Structure 1
Amino acid sequence: MPPSYRKSCLACVQSKRKCDKGLPKCQRCLAKNIDCEYNPRYPGRRRQTTGRNVEENIAFAEPVVEELSRGWQLQRSPVRPTAATLSPYSNDIFFNIPTGPFNLESIPQDDFLNSTVFEDAVAQQVPNDIQRCPSDTTTQARVEFTAKKLAVIPNIFSQQGQTMFIHRYLFQERSPPALQDALSACALYCLKNTENQTLVFRNLEHKRKQLISSMDPLISPKTDLLEALQALILYQIISLFDGDIRLRAQAEADEPVLLMWAAQLTLRTRQFQPSLSPAEAQPLPGSTSTDWRRWLIEESSRRTLITAFMLTGVYSFLKLDYDTVPHMRMSFTAQAALWNSQSEISWRRAYSERERLEVRVTHWDEAIAKAKPDDLEELGVLIMVMLKGIEATGEWLGHSQNIRYGLEEADYGSV
């Protein structure tokens, strides 16, 4: 929810239209692709709190969020996207920042997402003052496949303690309260039934409130912020894809927090490349795992940011049928052997012997040219699906990897 003291934006005031006061832009300005300014705008704001006031922190971080999100800001097209825009060979990706209400029908929790559920609900939910842009069936297929994979992440985390953006080693080493709470919430959610649903939802709500109230992203250490954002992503996934309208409404209200935390983490994240020679593949007796740990923190940060924006983009498409191709300047290490290493020795060996695959999302083809199908893990596959389509990704991966990642069951008529 926007801070209670925020007034309508200047554009809505001048046009005498209702403003939803969304961040970084209200829905109306977002749809019309015009500047959205709130008055007074950041007037010599004095930070008076101890750093625990969530609403003030959101307001304080607005300029950062707006600046960082400018590269992937949602752009509304009044016509159907061209074939070039949605080409499976495009080197951009449509992760969008959503605003506005989400009243879709419940997303199925089985292995198949019914596209008619999305299409029927989306047709009813597009605001009257926004011209609807029909989606391409190929884009719909990619987004539904990605949504299905995102929806099962809490279950994977509860069983394995590791996901495509959370590494088990860091989790076990630090035992951070934020992720400990998220683990218990995810495990309990996986046991949800009609009898205990109320208790499960109350526990989730308690953990979420506790997380947000205890985190000040402006002064917290980077690792604390990373773990808090990872936990919040897990809560958002559950709330957005469960189908309960109250959970979904709360997730919408918490989205500015997620974006503000992501903006702060972006400012503190960089690419870390240790210079290891083949002789250093085996660590010396008594050596520390400083390089590996630093790499894990930076790589987890980059993957967490990509997942956060992927989640908001997928969610935006499913609720409002937006499809756009903004510029993405994010990167990550796509090498599965590096990310899946559970010891310093195996990580050093993989770093010395395997293709590192430092991937910039906007230069996918260039980075992936040297890769083999077994070099990619879940995050790389999802990004490839979003960029290239299900069929093209399946052809590149081959039969065994298709089965592993569920691409053979994804019969959505993709290209």
Structure 2
Amino acid sequence: MLGYISSTRKKSCYACVKSKRRCDLGYPYCKRCFVKGLDCKYPNATATPREPSSKESGVVPGDVVLRQTTPDFTFSGPTETTFIDASADIDAFLFASSESSSSPEDIPPELYFQADWSVEIIPPPSPPPSTWTPKIVIPAYLNRDQTSYVIANLLGFVPSMAYSGSTIFLHKNLYASHEPREYQDCVALSALYLTKAVRNRGILANAIGSKISGLVSKSATWSLTQHLAAVQALIVYQAIRLFDPDLDLQAAAEKDNDLLELWSAHLWKRSFNESQSFGTPFESYVFRESLRRTIMMSVFTRCIWSVLTKGGLADQVPVLARLPFTEDLKAWKCGPEDWSARDSGSGEDDDGLVNYGEWSVQWKATRELGELDAFGKLLMGACWGKDDPRLLIDSVD
């Protein structure tokens, strides 16, 4: 954050007063409003924290004392309500900490952890049968084969970035017109990783640490596209450091899982709150689906680290189950020339979306392996690989 309200004018922001909560007097928003995405305003500040004029001019109200120049990326822990405005219809689980999502007492009553390898989402008892939500079974624990399979796929992001500049969560046409610096750095470091040897491990470790520090220092000025590229880059950096023990970077990487979590949450919020214009429906799909899959892989990365460190517990399952993506996996392979030939329904941005939990149940009913691309096999391998070993073979691309 940029500052705090000075001691001579100490008064909580309106949102904290209304909720009868302690306010840390942070500016341009206190930590509670920052986490919850609330409009943070102070009664005695000479300018409101979110006035465009103060942002554009860089003028800081006289009642504010500066305390640092970069945003505060320390995650504050579990929230009481959704990080996003309720009207945006965003999943509140995305903005809960890893600890809270793995604790039974913090999970809503409609989520029930089974004793075996799954979580069952059962309908609440109060609504009539016609309004009950469908039963969804998804994994809560991964066995050794599933874990090895998912880690291999996460590490597969690195050669994919080095050789093609794309991954299962970064479309090949995403940065066709402009390549953000964050993206270029990630491609370069991915190529360096492929030359990994004893002599250059220190160089690789320092380079990744330097790039992450650079991301932090520039994060306050990111455009939405730069923000997306930064989260994508951090996913790749985390995959390298968390899942390659030869580098001995796991301790440093574990600390940055909170950073990845928070940046992903902010990216998700921005994608709903900031309007974007695209030249064609194809460009809109490429950006929005890349963003949706990026959020998915961000959660996946942290979830698999939980599996390794918490006895197989996939502690982000409630998040993953509700994250959406485009149900038509073949759309991802389309280029601009054949996009218009698709039978894509209404053509709206959100047309044909499905969440992970629902899709996994639908797939189990058909078990058509041929319809899955690398992205689909990763999702299904993590979900049903214990029951169907075919899912755990040759999906890294």
The yes-or-no answer on 1:53 pairing with 2:70 is yes
- 2:306 maps to a residue whose letter is S
Distance 1:42 1:220 in 2: 27
Counterpart pick for 1:331 among 320, 324, 345:
324
Equivalent residue runs for 1:239-254 within 5 Å: 239-244=241-246, 246-254=248-256
Counterpart pick for 2:388 among 388, 392, 399:
392
Encode CA deviations 1:53-91: one digit per residue, 9 max, x unaligned.
Answer: 14x24358985398633497433579x95237369xx83
- 1:363 maps to a residue whose letter is E
Distance 1:59 1:358 in 2: 29
User: Cα offset for 1:222?
Assistant: 1.8
Report the CA distance shift for 1:75/1:350 in structure 2 as closer, same or farther (over 3 A). Answer: same
The structure where strand makes up a greater share of residues is 2
CA contact (8 A) 2:118 2:137 kept: no
Distance 1:320 1:332 in 2: 28
**Partner of residue 94, structure 2:** 68
Percent identity for Structure 1 against Structure 2: 24
When the two chains are superposed, the root-mean-square deviation of aligned CA atoms in Å is 3.8
Equivalent residue runs for 1:276-291 within 5 Å: 289-291=279-281
Report the CA distance shift for 1:84/1:243 in structure 2 as closer, same or farther (over 3 A). Answer: closer
Give the 3-state SS of the residue equivalent to 1:148 in structure 2.
Answer: helix
Report the CA distance shift for 1:245/1:365 in structure 2 as closer, same or farther (over 3 A). Answer: closer
Distance 1:329 1:379 in 2: 16
**Partner of residue 354, structure 2:** 359
User: Cα offset for 1:162?
Assistant: 1.2
Distance 2:241 2:383 in 1: 26
CA contact (8 A) 1:91 1:364 kept: no
- 2:224 maps to a residue whose letter is K
Distance 1:150 1:297 in 2: 21
Structure 2 unpaired stretches of 5+: 1-20, 29-64, 85-91, 106-112, 121-134, 273-277, 346-350
Distance 1:77 1:358 in 2: 29
Counterpart pick for 1:382 among 378, 382, 385:
378
Give the 3-state SS of the residue equivalent to 2:325 in structure 1.
Answer: strand
Give the 3-state SS of the residue equivalent to 1:53 in structure 2.
Answer: coil
CA contact (8 A) 1:143 1:314 kept: yes
Q: Which has the higher contact order (CA 8 A, sep 6+)?
A: 1
The yes-or-no answer on 1:180 pairing with 2:184 is yes
**Partner of residue 228, structure 1:** 230
**Partner of residue 263, structure 2:** 261
The normalised TM-score by structure 1 is: 0.62
CA contact (8 A) 2:238 2:253 kept: yes
The normalised TM-score by structure 2 is: 0.64
CA contact (8 A) 2:138 2:360 kept: no
Distance 2:376 2:242 in 1: 23
CA contact (8 A) 1:335 1:377 kept: no
Encode CA deviations 1:5-62: one digit per residue, 9 max, x unaligned.
Answer: xxxxxxxxxxxxxxxxxxxxxxxxxxxxxxxxxxx954221236699514x2435898
Distance 1:268 1:198 in 2: 36
CA contact (8 A) 1:240 1:251 kept: yes
The yes-or-no answer on 1:82 pairing with 2:91 is no
**Partner of residue 43, structure 1:** 24
Distance 1:60 1:318 in 2: 24
User: Cα offset for 1:352?
Assistant: 4.2
Equivalent residue runs for 1:128-207 within 5 Å: 139-207=143-211
Paired residues, number: 298
The yes-or-no answer on 1:350 pairing with 2:342 is yes
The yes-or-no answer on 1:405 pairing with 2:388 is no
Distance 2:233 2:164 in 1: 15
CA contact (8 A) 1:337 1:350 kept: no
Give the 3-state SS of the residue equivalent to 1:174 in structure 2.
Answer: coil
Encode CA deviations 1:210-256: one digit per residue, 9 max, x unaligned.
Answer: 1222112xx63321211110011111111111215652122112122
